[in-house]
Amino acid sequence: MESAPEYPPRNYAWFVVFVLILASLIAFIDRQVVAIVVGPMQEDLGVGDTEIGWLYGVFALFYAAAALPIATLADRRSRKHLIAAGIFLWSLLTIACGLTRNYWQIFLARIGVGIGEATLTPATTSLIGDYFPRKLVPLALSIFQTGPIIGTGLAFIIGGFVLNLVESSAPMTLPYIGPLKPWQQTFVYVGAPGLILAGLFLLIREPARQIMPGQASTLSDTAQLMAFYRANAKTITYHHLGFVSLVLMGYAFVFWSVTFFVRVHDLPAAEASQTFGWIFLFFGPLGPLSVAWLASRLRDRGHYDANITAGMIGGLVTIPCILLIQVAPTAFWAFVFYAPALLAVNSPFGIAAGALPVITPPNLRARVAAVYMLTGAFGMMFGPPLAGAFNEYIFPGPDGVRYSMITMTTFFGIIGVIFLGLGRRPYAESLKQADATAEDIA
């Protein structure tokens, strides 16, 4: 019988989670800033809603495509070095978005942002799995997921503030490049802080990798990965299909929120962005924390399907919350309804990531996380442009954005909840098997 694994001091482990939250916060600021400058970009670049949506879609495509090879490195090499390199790349390419002169240049720069950000989730999943015992991994990953949510809120607050500031200031002029429009300056200013964080990230300590019984196998890593998927096929299928549907709904909703207030309620983009950002900042992080708490309570009561059930409940609550916003009579009431909606729409995503490492062998965690990223990226890839296509071709006119949200929320929200409901029993069986394996090293 093997000895129980040793983990780093708990206080230091939580400190690393905090640093990872900072990284994800900056990642999501750089990721979401394009949603704030939709109007000025369309005016300067001469493109429609669908093309603007694809600036998020192409990001998601390469974010997903890069995830698996990056995850293979994360399962074998230094994770802190991988994350530091990723932060530097995505920050540099965010700045490059502000130096572009046409749509296709910014399209290419967004590809680089996606590749850089693809380093964070697989390497973080692997790191947290080696910093904490299995029982605490879902909680730690759910807390980590508050970083993207806080980052999204700050993206709208800071982006709106910067956009408002640069619109009322003298144009920035750079050597060899010339004057930059306000939307271009916004990209430059929000991308710069990540270059500093990339250097600071090199100072954290890399934890020892945990080993489970049977991991030292004659099978290759790829064969072990395929064996894991065969043994947990139903669990993984329902998990991925359920959460990717909720991701698609959520990203479409958040991406077009500022545009919703501009077109439906006639608010200036900077004002709508900052108000929306403050609501997101305060209520968004409560979602994954609430669902993680619910999952923990259900697990303590013996429910092995707790992680999936909690995510399903979060998705179920999201649907009416988003629909209320679309029928709100004024901007004030729409903002009021955004508080529960942003709590609900963010609630499933922490537990979606946290549900996987507890059923996965340590040497496969980064790649399993990357495969989920690959499927989840379809939601990021198609949510904003699909809603943009609805805006242009099915529901044209200023009010069209609200009918696009009603359609996508109803359809994809219900599909997501159904798949997660079907996945509860298979997930419980997978977790029981993983618990039985873990007991061999206790």
Between the CA of residue 65 and those of 90, 112, 126, what are the distances in Å? 15, 12, 19
The answer to the question of residue 213 being in a domain is: no
Task: Return the pLDDT at 85.
Answer: 93
Summarised one tens digit per residue, pLDDT across range 137-155 is 877 877 887 777 777 777 7
State the pLDDT confidence band at 442, using cuts at 50, 70 and 90. Answer: very low
**Residues near 176 by beta carbon (within 8 Å), at least 6 away in sequence:** none
Segment 269-280 mean pLDDT: 84
Structure token digits, residue 295: 């999952």
Task: Return the pLDDT at 78.
Answer: 86
Summarised one tens digit per residue, pLDDT across range 279-296 is 888 888 888 888 888 988
> The domain containing residue 91 runs over which residues?
10-205+219-441
Query: How many beta carbons lie within 10 A of that of residue 297, not counting itself?
Result: 12
Among 262, 334, 267, residue whose Cα is nearest residue 39: 262
Cα(405)–Cα(338) distance, integer angstroms: 13
Segment 351-374 mean pLDDT: 82
Mean of the per-residue pLDDT values of the chain: 84
Q: Which amino acid is at 421?
A: G
The answer to the question of residue 261 being in a domain is: yes
Task: Return the pLDDT at 234.
Answer: 94
- In the chain, pLDDT over 90 holds for what percent of residues? 25
The answer to the question of residue 159 being in a domain is: yes
Task: Return the pLDDT at 221.
Answer: 67
Task: Return the pLDDT at 433.
Answer: 87
Write out the H or E segment, with its range, that includes residue 344.
Answer: helix 331-354
Summarised one tens digit per residue, pLDDT across range 419-433 is 999 999 999 999 888
Structure token digits, residue 48: 């429609």
User: What does the angle CA 315 – CA 402 – CA 158 come to, to the nearest 5 degrees?
Assistant: 75
C-alpha radius of gyration, the chain, whole number: 21
The answer to the question of residue 214 being in a domain is: no
Helix H segments across 136-285?
137-144, 146-167, 182-191, 193-200, 221-231, 233-255, 257-265, 269-283
Q: How many domains does the chain have?
A: 1
Task: Return the pLDDT at 129.
Answer: 80
Cα(286)–Cα(275) distance, integer angstroms: 18
State the pLDDT confidence band at 322, using cuts at 50, 70 and 90. Answer: very high
Q: Say whether pLDDT at 337 is over 60.
A: yes
The answer to the question of residue 212 being in a domain is: no
Q: Say whether pLDDT at 35 is over 80.
A: no
Domain holding 304: CATH number? 1.20.1250.20
Give the pTM. Answer: 0.70
Cα(224)–Cα(209) distance, integer angstroms: 17
Between the CA of residue 176 and those of 23, 173, 179, what are the distances in Å? 31, 9, 10
Q: What is the DSSP string of 90-104?
A: HHHHHHHHTT--SHH
Segment 348-375 mean pLDDT: 81
Q: What is the DSSP string of 269-306?
A: HHHHHHHHHHHHHHHTTHHHHHHHHHHHHHHHTT-TTH
User: What does the angle CA 267 – CA 271 – CA 274 come to, to the nearest 5 degrees?
Assistant: 135
The answer to the question of residue 211 being in a domain is: no
Task: Return the pLDDT at 2.
Answer: 46
The answer to the question of residue 73 being in a domain is: yes
Q: Say whether pLDDT at 167 is over 80.
A: no
Decide: helix, strand or coil at residue 179: strand
Segment 221-233 mean pLDDT: 84
Summarised one tens digit per residue, pLDDT across range 173-226 is 777 777 788 888 888 888 888 998 888 888 888 887 766 544 444 445 678 888
The answer to the question of residue 210 being in a domain is: no
